[in-house]
């Protein structure tokens, strides 16, 4: 049983276009996270989201990125003007009940920027 679901599973876009990646938690949790993994590299933290606000963001999470919870359940990661180097797997993750425990990952969205 997935902890979170993500859509789409694969997104292909042209450089300069905007993309929105979606994460749907199976149950209600307080903390959510976005991570990025460029092919062949390690998983990198982008941003954490708590109680409808950004809790922490990394140096990667610059002005081209934004996160929202538009309808109280789905979480979205928006990349405003995609670059070739944004091609990567993007993972959404949610916390265990205490917010300091294991993080459970969704299946990821593979983003390809042409």
Partner 1 sequence: AQTVTQSQPEMSVQEAETVTLSCTYDTSESDYYLFWYKQPPSRQMILVIRQEAYKQQNATENRFSVNFQKAAKSFSLKISDSQLGDAAMYFCAYRSEETSGSRLTFGEGTQLTVNP
Quick check: 24 binds partner 1 (CB under 8 A)?
A: no
Radius of gyration of the chain (CA): 13
Stretch that binds partner 1, among 18-26, 48-56, 66-74, 79-87 (CB under 8 A): 48-56
Least Cα distance to 75 among 59, 54, 45, 57 occurs for 54
Quick check: 105 binds partner 1 (CB under 8 A)?
A: yes
Q: How far apart are CA 41 and CA 5, in angstroms?
A: 23
Restricted to residues 74-93, the positions that interact with partner 1 (CB under 8 A) are 89, 91, 93
Quick check: 31 binds partner 1 (CB under 8 A)?
A: yes
């Amino acid at each position: 049983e997935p902890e979170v679901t993500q859509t789409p599973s694969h997104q292909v876009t042209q450089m300069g276009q905007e993309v929105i990646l979606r994460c749907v938690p199976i149950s209600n949790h307080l903390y959510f996270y976005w991570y990025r993994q460029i092919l062949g590299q390690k998983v990198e933290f982008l941003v954490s989201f708590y109680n409808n606000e950004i809790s922490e963001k990394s140096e990667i999470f610059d002005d081209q990125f934004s996160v929202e919870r538009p309808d109280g359940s789905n979480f979205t990661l928006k990349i405003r003007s995609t670059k070739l180097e944004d091609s990567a797997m993007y993972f959404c993750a949610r916390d265990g009940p205490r917010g300091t425990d294991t993080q459970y990952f969704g299946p990821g969205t593979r983003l390809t920027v042409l």
